Amino acid sequence: MGNKISTFTPEQLEAYEDCTFFTSKEILHIFSRYQALAPDKVPYDMTGKEAQTVRIAHDVILTMPELKENPFKDQICKVFSEEGSGHMTFEEFLDMFSVFSEAASRDIKSVYAFKIYDWDGDGNLNRSDLEATLLKLTQDGLTQDEKNFVVDKVLEEADLDDDGMLSYVEFEHVISRAPDFLNTFHVRI
> Which CATH number does the domain 10-99 belong to among 3.10.20.600, 3.40.50.300, 1.20.1250.20, 1.10.238.10?
1.10.238.10
CB of 166 closer than 8 Å to CB of 175: no
Q: pLDDT tens, 171-187?
A: 999 988 887 877 777 77
Average confidence score pLDDT of the chain: 92
Q: pLDDT tens, 18-68?
A: 999 999 999 999 999 999 999 999 999 999 999 999 999 999 999 999 998
CB of 100 closer than 8 Å to CB of 186: yes
Q: Give the pLDDT confidence score for residue 141 in this predicted structure.
A: 87
> Which CATH number does the domain 106-184 belong to among 1.10.10.10, 1.20.1560.10, 1.10.238.10, 3.90.1150.10?
1.10.238.10
With vertex at residue 182, the alpha carbon angle to CA 177 and CA 185, rounded to the nearest 5 degrees, is 120
Contacts of residue 185, defined as CB under 8 A and 6 or more positions apart, other chains included, come to 100, 109, 113
Q: Give the pLDDT confidence score for residue 180 in this predicted structure.
A: 80
Q: Give the pLDDT confidence score for residue 1 in this predicted structure.
A: 44
Q: pLDDT tens, 136-174?
A: 999 888 999 999 999 999 999 999 999 999 999 999 999
Q: Give the pLDDT confidence score for residue 155 in this predicted structure.
A: 95
Q: Answer yes or no: is pLDDT of 86 > 90.
A: yes
